[in-house]
Amino acid sequence: MTARTRRRSLAAGAALILLTNAIALSSVARNRADEPESRVMLSERELALPAGGYRHAENSGLALALNWRVLDADEERPDYGYSLHAGRPAWLDAGRLAALGFDTAAGDATPEARERFTRQLPRQVLIVLELAGPAWQQAVERARANALRRTAAATANPDSKAFAEQAKAARDNLAIEEGHASRLFAIDAGLDAAVLRARYPDRQRTLILRGTVRPSVRSSDRQHRLAGYISAIAIDRINVPFAWRGLLEPLRNTSRPAASERTPRYQAQVAVGQHLEPWIESLTTLPGDRPAPSARPAP
């Protein structure tokens, strides 16, 4: 390769990089050009801070993971705050799946029909996420009812170590649900953002984000029902602007109490733009773990 050819290759590569960056910046600008589609104040419960360590030492970026959940239809199998980032919500049934474009005409009566259904490709849809709404309240009530059942069983069997341990675990799970687990639940899905927003008008409690639904089958007591599985939210990592990283970096290596005793250490106002892409507008640390003033990026 001659020197002239190498220079041309380098110039072409540099031009491609500049073009890619320009397109990305243009997309960000368009997403944030108008009034945000929604603004929701999320805490550490919903925005997880990645752990520190040597793997992050050379990484100058910092992103918070969006912790979202679903309320499972099976009340005997609650997750107590540990099931994040995927699941089969009770509301995602055959009717809702048909509205999302899945072929449900064959039904669920035969193994062949169910197999054809599950072979369909996943679909990109719009997911409604609600903060501290009825779904979360129901999750808390499930945890509370389980704690009461386990405690009653332990009281009725005072000599049983197993019952005592189960009761303690249930009480810890209730504490996690009430004070530590994410309160952000997927409550609906659709194809039209305007229709969903009309159905859920509170822009300070509900986010509409792009996500993926794939077909599934719910089986229980030899009964089979078509179901949907929310496998991902398209953007589930939200970058922290450089001006606020100094507030969060010291928290990454800080030892913390057990999950049942933790409280959120920070909160962030998350905005969602016209392209349904989220970003952080403000961030504040909360008293208790590390008092510090709120910060905003320099204009």
* Residue pLDDT, tens place only, 77-127: 555 555 556 788 989 999 999 999 999 998 888 999 999 999 999 999 999
Backbone angles phi, psi at 272, to 5 degrees: -120, 125
Q: Compute the C-alpha angle 282/199/178, nearest 5°.
A: 55
Under 8 Å between Cβ of 208 and 38: yes
- Between CA 285 and CA 250 the distance in angstroms is 11
Nearest CA to 91 out of 37, 124, 134, 132 is that of 134
Q: Is 104 inside any structural domain? A: yes
Asked whether the predicted pLDDT for residue 297 surpasses 70, the reply is no
Among candidate residues 97, 187, 174, the one with its CA nearest the CA of residue 142: 174
- 42: its two tokens: 């999320």
Name the percent of the chain lying above pLDDT 70.
77
Taking the whole predicted model, whether its pTM rises above 0.95 is answered as: no
| CA–CA dist 151, 190 (Å, integer) | 41
- Least confident window among 140-144, 197-201, 222-226, 262-266: 222-226
Q: What is the DSSP string of 37-49?
A: SEEEEEETTTEEP
Q: Examine the pLDDT at 189 and tell me if it is beyond 90.
A: yes
- How many domains is the chain built from? 1
Instruction: Determine, yes or no, domain membership for 292.
Output: no
Would the pLDDT of 187 be above 80? yes
Q: Is 8 part of a structural domain of the chain?
A: no
pLDDT for res 97: 96
Give the pLDDT score at 191: 97
pLDDT one-digit tens code per residue, 219-277:
876 788 999 999 999 999 999 999 999 999 888 878 888 887 888 999 999 999 999 99
Can you give the pLDDT at residue 106? 87
Whole-number pLDDT of residue 262: 85
pLDDT higher than 80, residue 6: no
- Chain-centroid distance, C-alpha 49: 13
Distance of CA 82 to the CA centre of its chain: 12
Mean pLDDT of 284-298: 54
Would residue 248 count as lying in a domain?
Answer: yes
Length of the chain: 299
Residue 18 lies in a domain: no
Angle, helix 134-156 to helix 161-179, in steps of 10 degrees: 160
pLDDT band at residue 24 using 50, 70 and 90 as cut-offs: very low
Helix or strand or coil: residue 11? helix
In a domain, 171, yes or no: yes
Is a pLDDT exceeding 50 seen at residue 292? no
In the prediction, which pLDDT does 208 show? 98
- Residue-range definition of the domain harbouring residue 117: 34-285
Whether 265 contacts 248, CB under 8 Å:
no
Q: Can you tell me the distance from the alpha carbon of 224 to that of 53, in angstroms, rounded to the nearest whole number? A: 46
Instruction: State both tokens at 131.
Output: 């903060």
The distance in angstroms from the start CA to the end CA of the chain is 47
Identify whether 174 is part of a domain: yes
